């Protein structure tokens, strides 16, 4: 440990470059060929397998695992990608412990599920590393579809539509495609520029044009898109970030966790990303954990994740919570922020303990903080959109919005659970419905 970790304030390069490189390496190193065979052999090839039911994209898991076990990982990849074109990313970021692997009968039998996520990665990596794109386009239909948002839902929708012969233009606000895959996921979950590689691979289908740095109301309008395209798919995600609503929130050093996570992903050199000595993350979801863990990996001395309810209510899975704890993140529950203290920059943050009904107890907690990350949820920036349901675009099962010709999916749409894999499923299914409408 260098003395840099003890220095107060927000500073870059707290850890030596080689340590940083190791810290941010692959969370789950890939299985090698033999490990994959051994892991695949544990699959029982269940009848009407529970893991398939548990997968939001309905991947035929026993089939692809058997294809791995019999030495045909490319066929396995095709089985996966037919259902989930972002199967490579999902293999890395899916909370498999609450999806397929939780449903695995071997989890029930021995508490050790088949390593479905890692096997999926083995298959998709094997195929994608060859640069092979296993799908081809149908005859061009002449129909055009505008997709807004190049995240998982938008990409999945665009790929399926392109495959069916439609011409697709994706409009995205960011300079790079991928959405949260590129900007919103911890670096150690998808190192080595995987997200961009996956998009490049996906684009090999042809028929998809990417337009960057255009957003609804900034370069394009819904009306304009409607006049130019036969259908529109909105996959704009949740662009806004919830505020704490407490005194001192505007002090220097207080920022949004999503921006920190995006900065880390875009930083070529982790040593260039400044981090506090005493970091506090507020929130209980995956974003909060991703921020807290990466703060620790960057060399923050003390990282505290503070959540207003109990650990059982955290949106971050038990695996994520354990990961945070194993990296040295302290998790404080049943506490809500009441004030940010400091002279210009944050120095301390004050919490009040609350009961299960969120009622204040009068007991307070003061945490030293030179950096505070807010991760208490994102919101839809909803001006001029179709009708909402709650705080999201209202859609039916097929993804149709209240406006004819406009579909929506992913985090911006009602239903779903804000998972990458769910977004992919919604994009894919909306594409199938759009196709049905366009070609009759």
DSSP state of 413: B
Q: Among 3, 29, 32, 48, which residue sits at the site for other proteins (rule: CB under 8 A)?
A: 48
If the CB atoms of residues 97 and 263 are measured against other proteins, the closer one turns out to be 97
- Continuous segment of H or E residues that includes residue 350: strand 348-354
Provide the minimum distance between the beta carbon of 69 and other proteins in the complex, in angstroms, as a whole number: 9
If the CB atoms of residues 38 and 358 are measured against other proteins, the closer one turns out to be 38
Span from 45-53, 147-155, 169-177, 269-277 in contact with other proteins (CB under 8 A):
45-53
Site string for other proteins, 76-115 (x = CB under 8 A): -----------------------------xx-xx------
Task: Indicate whether 63 belongs to the interface with other proteins (CB under 8 A).
Answer: no
Task: Indicate whether 432 belongs to the interface with other proteins (CB under 8 A).
Answer: no
Q: Among 2, 7, 9, 41, which residue sits at the site for other proteins (rule: CB under 8 A)?
A: 41
Provide the minimum distance between the beta carbon of 50 and other proteins in the complex, in angstroms, as a whole number: 7
Name the burial class of residue 29, with classes exposed (0-12), middle (13-18) and buried (19+) by CB atoms within 10 angstroms of its CB: exposed
Phi, psi of 254 (to 5 degrees): -100, 120
Report whether 275 contacts 4 (CB < 8 A).
no
Separation CA 245–CA 339 (nearest Å) = 9
Task: Indicate whether 33 belongs to the interface with other proteins (CB under 8 A).
Answer: no
Helices marked H in 267-337: 286-298, 318-326
For residue 15, give both structure tokens.
């850890």
Residues 344-373 that bind other proteins (CB under 8 A): none
Provide the minimum distance between the beta carbon of 248 and other proteins in the complex, in angstroms, as a whole number: 53
Report whether 165 contacts 145 (CB < 8 A).
no
Provide the minimum distance between the beta carbon of 110 and other proteins in the complex, in angstroms, as a whole number: 9
Provide the minimum distance between the beta carbon of 55 and other proteins in the complex, in angstroms, as a whole number: 16
* Residue located via tokens 């840099």: 4
Q: Among 7, 9, 22, 45, which residue sits at the site for other proteins (rule: CB under 8 A)?
A: 45
Question: Which residues does 181 contact at the CB level (< 8 Å), separation at least 6?
Answer: 86, 89, 93, 151, 152, 190, 195, 198, 199, 420
SS (H, E, C) 71-108: CCHHHHHHHHHHHCCCHHHHHHHCCHHHCHHHHCHHHH
Phi, psi of 246 (to 5 degrees): -125, 160
Report whether 60 contacts 45 (CB < 8 A).
no
Task: Indicate whether 47 belongs to the interface with other proteins (CB under 8 A).
Answer: yes
Report whether 257 contacts 288 (CB < 8 A).
yes
Provide the minimum distance between the beta carbon of 75 and other proteins in the complex, in angstroms, as a whole number: 15
Provide the minimum distance between the beta carbon of 1 and other proteins in the complex, in angstroms, as a whole number: 41
Span from 31-39, 276-284, 293-301, 421-429 in contact with other proteins (CB under 8 A):
31-39
Task: Indicate whether 394 belongs to the interface with other proteins (CB under 8 A).
Answer: no
Report whether 167 contacts 236 (CB < 8 A).
no
Task: Indicate whether 383 belongs to the interface with other proteins (CB under 8 A).
Answer: no
SS (H, E, C) 220-250: ECHHHHHHHCCEEEECCCCCEECCCCCECCC
If the CB atoms of residues 6 and 44 are measured against other proteins, the closer one turns out to be 44
User: Contacts with other proteins: how many residues (CB under 8 A)?
Assistant: 15
Q: Among 28, 44, 132, 318, which residue sits at the site for other proteins (rule: CB under 8 A)?
A: 44
DSSP state of 140: P
Would you tell me which residues interact with other proteins (CB under 8 A)? 34, 37-38, 41, 44-50, 105-106, 108-109
């Amino acid at each position: 440990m260098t003395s840099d970790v003890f220095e107060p304030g927000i500073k870059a390069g707290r850890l030596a470059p080689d340590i940083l490189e190791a810290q941010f390496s692959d969370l789950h190193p890939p299985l090698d060929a033999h490990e994959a065979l051994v892991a695949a052999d544990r699959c029982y090839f269940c009848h009407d397998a529970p893991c398939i039911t548990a997968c939001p994209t309905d991947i035929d898991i026993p089939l692809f695992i058997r294809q791995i076990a019999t030495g045909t990982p490319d066929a396995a990849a095709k089985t996966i990608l037919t259902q989930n074109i972002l199967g490579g990313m999902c293999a890395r970021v899916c909370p498999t412990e609450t999806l397929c692997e939780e449903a695995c009968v071997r989890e029930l039998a021995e508490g050790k599920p088949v390593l479905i996520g890692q096997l999926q990665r083995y298959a998709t990596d094997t195929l994608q590393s060859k640069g092979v794109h296993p799908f081809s386009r149908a005859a061009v239909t002449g129909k055009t579809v505008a997709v807004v948002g190049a995240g998982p839902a938008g990409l999945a929708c665009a790929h399926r539509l392109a495959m069916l012969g439609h011409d697709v233009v994706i409009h995205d606000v960011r300079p790079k495609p991928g959405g949260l895959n590129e900007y919103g996921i911890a670096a150690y979950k998808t190192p080595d520029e995987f997200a961009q590689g996956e998009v490049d691979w996906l684009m090999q289908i042809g028929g998809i044009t990417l337009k960057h740095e255009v957003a609804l109301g900034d370069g394009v309008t819904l009306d304009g898109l409607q006049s130019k395209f036969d259908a529109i798919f909105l996959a704009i995600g949740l662009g806004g970030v919830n505020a704490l609503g407490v005194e001192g929130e505007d002090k220097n050093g207080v920022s949004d966790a999503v921006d920190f996570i995006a900065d880390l992903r875009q930083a070529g050199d982790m040593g260039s990303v400044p981090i506090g000595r005493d970091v506090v993350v507020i929130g209980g979801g995956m974003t909060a954990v991703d921020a807290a863990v990466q703060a620790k990996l960057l060399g923050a001395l003390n990282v505290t994740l503070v959540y207003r309810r109990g650990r059982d209510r955290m949106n971050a899975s038990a695996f994520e919570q354990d990961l945070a704890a194993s990296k040295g993140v302290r998790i404080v529950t049943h506490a809500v922020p009441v004030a940010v203290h400091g002279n210009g920059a944050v120095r301390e943050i004050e919490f009040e303990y609350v009961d299960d009904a969120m009622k204040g107890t009068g007991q307070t907690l003061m945490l030293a903080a030179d950096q505070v990350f807010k991760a208490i949820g994102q919101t839809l920036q909803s001006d001029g959109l179709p009708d909402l349901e709650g705080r999201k675009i209202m859609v039916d099962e097929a993804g149709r919005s209240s406006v004819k010709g406009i579909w929506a999916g992913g985090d911006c749409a009602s239903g779903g659970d804000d998972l990458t894999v769910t977004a992919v499923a919604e994009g894919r299914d909306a594409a199938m419905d759009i196709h049905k409408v366009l070609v009759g």
